[in-house]
Structures are given as structure tokens and as C-alpha cells.
Chain A
Amino acid sequence: MDSPGVSGSLRNQLALTLIGGAAVLALLLFFAVRSYAVQVAQQGQNNILEASVTSMLDAAAIRDGRIELDLPYAAFSMLATPADDRVFYAILQDGVHLSGYEDLAFSQGATGGNLMFEIGEMRGGAVQKISASRTLIGANNRTEVQIVLAQTQDALSETLDQISRNAALLGLGFFGLAAALSFWATSATIGQLGKLTSSVTRRGPQDLSPFTKPVPREMAPLVTSLNSLMGRLDQSLSRSEDFIAEAAHRVRTPLATVRSYAEATLQRVDKEENREAMRSMVKAIDESSRAAGQLLDHAMITFRADHLEREEIDLVVVARELVLRLTPIADMKDLSLTLRGDPHVPYSGDLVLIQNAVRNLIDNAMKYSPAEGAIEVAVALHPRPQIRVCDRGPGFPTDEIEALTTRFRRGANAANTIGSGLGLTIAREVAQAHGGQIELANQEGGGACVTLSF
């Protein structure tokens, strides 16, 4: 069978979409957490800088007309960090440097008590700067003290590194979880399709009945289409079987008439060459009639195989009846037909089908047996109920044994014998309908054996 053209995979598409979505979400989560952490950490540093600069400004006073600024020890002490950040400061009075680092500048001058932050660079390190100012009122002057304080950001970046690592782990964990969930969701969804597929695959070759098992809503249209397709297929199949049966039946009756006329004519004709022609004619009619019969059998079997009518039968009785019925024909061909085996082989099966199968097998044996040949029908109970038909004919061509039970297939050495090639097919289908099998073999010393086991 051709495999259908495959483009893409639903499972991959679904999994990729879900995992891609999870990756985007995990990245978003990472950046959101990180940017929030940056904000919080920077806010923390700013708060400490603010507290420090405020405590420094508080210590400023005018004494004897001069600025005094008694730096509190705590102002720098509170700026100690685990990463030992560097601290710079400058004290300015009305914009003139008073104490501290002369190279520490702030972009804006003092603006009356407002706190201002800015990022800058100081002696080879990035720093966060704060500037604050305070107006001091002396006895006869007003003056503005501005303090610029700067701190490097080593501890901050260490904290951020740590938070980034944790955020990355969080993102990865989230992604892993989401990916696992995606795989699970994908296989659960695709699993429904798989179930339908396997229930289609498991069906027998003749089973065209509709699917009735419940399926998810999204798959219902597919199953409905499938059911309607199978319904139409079933209908057209049975229509063609009916047609074949009807045709065979219609042909058989006129053929019988023609045959009896030909027989009668043969009695009246004296001329040897005319008699020979008449005999050929009878033979051809026989062949056609037999073929029509087999087609009818086959159609019947195809129909009954789906609705077996099982009853308790004795395979020995079945075989004996057939042997008795066919003995006269065998005698005509100088063949001996014998039955042997177990006395009783009870089995629950479809009598009509089994009769048909065995008769076809005996027919075949008689057809291929040479004159004076012996045909043996053996019935056995063990290991499984079985009927074996053996002849002394040419046997099966060994390289074709497997293919011979196919419809209309005939052995390569059977060209000179009349036959439709349906006999073994019928026997095989009967066996399979009963859950059994057919086995073809050549026996030692020549001849073929066909075993029908149930």
C-alpha cells in the first residue's frame, strides 16, 4: 500500500508552539524579575545614601560666622557593604569646595534642600551620586551647604548577579515544567488520534461497520466521514457480490440446458470428428458451469463469513457425507476416495461453509489426481479439529505454496487442467471465518496435502 504524503507533524507543531510559548514566558519572567530587582536594589542604595547625606547635613552648623561640620561616624559607617564599596564625598559652601574630594562634582548646584541622584564615574569606578543641600542662617549671613556623596556599586552588582542567577534558575524551572506539561498535553491530544488509528488497523478485512466508540468532539467530523465512506464502500462491495452471484446463477441454468442438448446430440452423431467436437463442447460447458458454481460459492462465503451460523456438528459426519456423495464421480474417473481418522470430531461451526470448503478441496484433489490415484480424507481431533485431503497428483510447486490461496491464482503446473483458481481461496476464507487456517504441503512420494484446521 502507498503511504500517504506526509507534511509536518501535528505533535511537533503542537509541542513546538507550547514550548516556544513557555520559553518566551520564561524569558519575560527572567527580565521582569531582574528589572524589578535592579529597581529595588538601587532604591536600597539610594535610601542609605540619603540617610547618610542627611545625617551629614544635620551636623552642619555656623559657629562664629564659620561653617562647622562635625561629620558623624555613622554617616560613613552605614555605607559599609559586604563588597567593601568605595565612598567619596565633597562638602561645598555656596558652590566653593570646603572639604572632601575636590574632583567629585555634581552636574547641578545646590537647589535648596532637594535631593538629587545621578550616575557618574569616580577614580576608575562607576558610582551612584547623591547631592543634598541645606541653608544655614547665621547671625548676619545666610549660606548654603551642599554635600555630594558617591558610592561605588560593587555590592549592588554582586546582589544583582545573585538575583539574576536565581531569576534565571526560576525561569529555567518554569520552562522545564511548562515543557513537560506541553509534552504531556501533546501526547494526550495525539493519543486520541492514535487510538482511532489503532482501532481502524485492528479491524478484520471484512469489517466495514461504523465506529461507535465515543471520540472527542473535534474528531467527530473525521469519524463521521470515515463511517460514511465505509458505509458507501460496504454498499458497493455487497452490490458487486450480488451482481456476481446473480450473473453466475443466470449463466448456470442455460448452461445446464445447453449441456443436456450437447449430450443428446453426442449420442446421435456418428462421425468421429464431430463426436470429438461435441465432447470438447461438453467439457467447456462443464468448466464454465463449475466456475459459475464456485463464484456463487465464493459470494455466499463472503456473505456468510461475516455472519457465521454456528451449530454443533461432527466433522466426521460432514466428511463422510461428502465422500459418499462424490464417490460416484470418483469412480467415473477411476479414483479411490477413502475416509479415515478419529471416529468423532465434534465442532461448532457453519455447516454449509465447511461442506463447501471440503467439497472444493476434494474437487481439486480429484481434478489433479492421475487415473487410478487414491484420494485420502482424514479427520482428526488433535491438536485442533482438522480435515486433511491428500492426493497423489503432481503436488504444489514449492515456490508458489504461499500465493496459491489468493483468489484466481493457479499453480504453474496446472495449465492443462480446468479450474477457476477459486477452490483454495474458498477453503482459506472458510477456515479464517472460523478462526482457523489452511495449510498446504507436498507429501513425500508425490501428491499434495491440504489441511483445514479450525
Chain B
Amino acid sequence: MRYLIVLVLVCLGSTGWAQNWEDRQVFNDTDAATTLRIISSTDTDLFAPLIDTFVARNPDIAIEYLVTGTADIDLRFRNTPEAFDIAISSAMDLQLKLVNDGYALPLENVAHLPWAEWRQSLFAFTSEPAAIVINRAAFDGMAIPQSRQELIEALRARPDVFRNRVGTYDVRQSGLGYLFATQDARASETFWRLMEVMGGLDVRLYCCSGDMIDDLTDGTIAVAYNVLGSYAEARAESQSTLEIILPSDFPTTMMRTAFVSRATKKPQTAAQFIQFLVSYQSSPVDGAGLLPLLSEKENGAERRAIALEPALMTFLDRLKRNKFLSEWESALIQK
């Protein structure tokens, strides 16, 4: 774990990590009696409409929203569970392990679908498929790949165009990237072949979806693999240049999850927020926000999300992780 800390520090580009956040914002600062501290991996822009609605309905509650990477959430939370009331992350495996290890408070009265909650403690509130996002300019006049196999073929066909212009998560840094990669590897060997092809094209590795989409938009890279489509869609200026492809061969769908810290001093307020979060994200009427809703199916096709079950802990095992990372490195970082 120790080297993970180092990686996180590098990613944040800071030395005093405890006080540094990607973003920190306080909602309803003025006249609130209680303040909920939420540690989250979701960009503030995406989450703000939801929190605004919540504080509008509950004027006596203020929310301090802290954003950092998924791996960092896991680290900080394990170190100081009493410092946060709610943890929100897209890394389902890390979240599930935190709950399994007893950091979460079970909530009695949150009605939720059985497949979208675990131990009545961990609640999923979005369904977000991993997408291939391309810059249309790079595929001008060409067929746009609809699956991983077609992407492999497209990359092989024009290596000169794509050299140093493909990107994906650095799974060593990003918890979400690691989750997507391990689930892909479980599903099909195609993943490893794609990684080898991308490795051969001097792939660029990113810590976060945001950076990847920035580079895609300005044309630094032409293809990004396993990006969150929701992030790309949320950027209005990217709409014309980018195309989001949900691979047709097999989907990898993540659910954002939230839980209340067992060490919280405001269990009722925290539970109230979770109740609101779940209902806001479950009903299309309420959900006027930017986050994708929680849904079992997407576009009519069967897109079951990664299951919330103890098996998520498999790839978090130290031996298993080492093995996976060494395979990943040997495929992607070809020296």
C-alpha cells in the first residue's frame, strides 16, 4: 500500500497531501446548523445540482464537498474514518472493501433495489458504462469502430496516425481504471490484445478521466479507452469533436456508490442525504442533474453493471494485484 500513497502524492502534485484536494467547495455556507463532510471522486460540476437541490430542501444542512481520486479516498478514509460523514466513489471494489472491513454504518430506512445495495450500507446511485471516446477528426472518412475488436483493427491499420495518440487510465494510480481493467480482463482476452496494441503505439497513461478528455478534445490523443462517457457528455464544448462509443461486444458498467461512515457524528443527517441521493438518482422526475441515473438496462440492451459482491475484493488481493499489474505493465509499457 505504501507505494500507492507515493503514487497518489505524485498524481496530486503536492507534498502536504492531507490538506490538498482536487477541489473543495462548501454549499449553503451561511446559515446551517450542521455540516456534512463528503469525500468524493465525482467532479464538483457534476454533483453540484444534486447538492443544491438537497440544501434548498434542507436549509439547516451545509455540505462540505471534497474531491480527490478513488485510491486517495480509500487511503484517507482508512486513516481517518471519523473525518468524513459520507464517502462517494466510482471505485466499487475499494468501496465494497471499506464496507466489508466495517467502516460503514448500516442504514435502516433506505429503500433500494437489492442488486444496487450491499449490506444496507453501500448504495449505488448511477449506472455508467465505460466507453471508447474518439476524436472524430482522426476517423474522418473512416468507419468508426463499434467494438474492441474493431478498435484493434483500426489501430493496427494506421499505426502512424495513432502512435503516441491513444490514451487510457494508468491503473496503478486510478482505482476506477483498475476496476475497469480487471473487469475487462475477466470478461475477455480481447482486452489483453487491445492493451498490447495500445502498448505498441506508445500509449499515454492518465490518472483521471478529466485530463484524458481534455487531451482528446484538443486533439493530443485520438482514442481514449475506458473513459467514463458521462464525463465526456457533460462537456458541452466537446460535443462536436468527440464521439462516445459503447463497445458492442461486452459492456463494462460501473455504479457510483456511497456509504455513511461508521464513525460519523451525524448519522441521521448523513442517512437523510443518502435517502435523498438514492431517490434523486432513481426517479427521472427528480433527476434533473448531470449524473446518469441508476438503471438496470441502457438503450434497451441488457447492460448489467458490475455486481456488488465480495468477489470485487479478488483483484484487491496483494498477490493478485501484483500479478495483474505486472501483466498490465508488460503489455502496455513495452521498453
- Chain A positions near chain B (C-beta within 8 angstroms): 67-77, 79-80, 82, 84-88, 91, 98-100, 123-125
Contacts and interface: CB of A to CB of B under 8 A. Distances in A.
B309 A80 contact: yes
Given A76-B314, A79-B310, A80-B309, A68 B319 contact: yes
Contacts of B320: 69-71, 99
Contact of B311 (A73, A85, A91, A98): A73
A69 B310 contact: no
9 contacts: A71-B314, A73-B186, A74-B311, A77-B314, A80-B307, A80-B310, A86-B119, A86-B310, A99-B317
Given A84-B118, A87-B100, A123-B101, A76 B313 contact: yes
A76 B319 contact: no
B100 A124 contact: no
B158 interface: no
Contacts of B114: 82
A30 to B, nearest CB: 30
Interface string B101-121: 110000000000010001110
B24 interface: no
Secondary structure type dominating chain A contacts: mixed
Contacts of B319: 67-71, 91, 98-99
B104 to A, nearest CB: 11
A189 B311 CA distance: 66
Nearest to B308: A84
A424 to B, nearest CB: 90
B2 interface: no
A73 B93 CA distance: 13
Contacts of B101: 123
Contacts of B313: 76, 87
Nearest to A83: B119
Given A76-B309, A80-B309, A91-B319, 13 more contacts: A68-B323, A70-B320, A71-B317, A73-B311, A75-B314, A77-B310, A80-B310, A80-B311, A84-B118, A85-B310, A86-B102, A100-B318, A123-B102
Contact of A100 (B119, B309, B317): B317
A86 B100 contact: yes
A77 B323 contact: no
Interface in B290-335: 307-314, 317-320, 323
Contacts of B311: 73-77, 79-80
Contacts of B317: 69, 71, 91, 99-100
A85 B96 CA distance: 12
A301 B10 CA distance: 132
A124 B307 CA distance: 25
Q: Which of B118, B310, B311, B312 gathers most chain A CB within 10 Å? A: B310
A87 B323 contact: no
Interface residues of B, number: 21
Interface in B67-120: 100-102, 114, 118-120
Nearest to B182: A73
A96 B310 CA distance: 24
Interface in B124-158: none
A76 B314 CA distance: 7
Contacts of A77: 309-311, 314
Nearest to B318: A99
Q: Which of B102, B309, B323 gathers most chain A CB within 10 Å? A: B309
A69 B318 CA distance: 10
A82 B115 CA distance: 10
Contacts of A67: 319
A123 B101 CA distance: 7
A80 B309 CA distance: 6
A67 B313 CA distance: 20
Nearest to B118: A84
A11 B7 CA distance: 86
Q: Which of A71, A72, A87, A124 gathers most chain B CB within 10 Å? A: A71
A68 B326 CA distance: 12
A86 B313 CA distance: 11
Contacts of A74: 311
Nearest to A98: B319
Nearest to B323: A70
A360 B307 CA distance: 112
Contacts of A124: 102
Contacts of B309: 76-77, 80
Contacts of B323: 68, 70
Contacts of A73: 186, 311, 314
Contacts of A80: 307, 309-311
Contacts of B120: 84
Contacts of A88: 100
A307 B137 CA distance: 132
A161 to B, nearest CB: 16
Question: Which 9 A-B pairs have CB atoms at the shortest separation, nearest pair first?
Answer: A77-B311, A80-B309, A76-B311, A87-B310, A123-B102, A99-B318, A84-B119, A76-B310, A71-B320
Nearest to A85: B310
Nearest to B103: A123
Interface string B31-54: 000000000000000000000000
Contacts of B102: 86, 123-125
Contacts of B118: 84
Contacts of A69: 317, 319-320
Contacts of B307: 80
A99 B314 CA distance: 11
Contacts of B312: 76
A86 B320 CA distance: 20
Contacts of A87: 100, 310, 313
A104 to B, nearest CB: 11
Contacts of B308: 84
A79 B312 CA distance: 11
A72 B310 CA distance: 12
Nearest to A88: B100
B188 to A, nearest CB: 14
Contacts of B100: 86-88
B77 to A, nearest CB: 15
A246 to B, nearest CB: 100
Nearest to A60: B319
A123 B103 CA distance: 10
A70 B102 CA distance: 25
A73 B314 CA distance: 6
Nearest to B101: A123
Contacts of A98: 318-319
Q: Which of A69, A86, A123 gathers most chain B CB within 10 Å? A: A86
A14 to B, nearest CB: 51
Contacts of A125: 102
A354 to B, nearest CB: 95
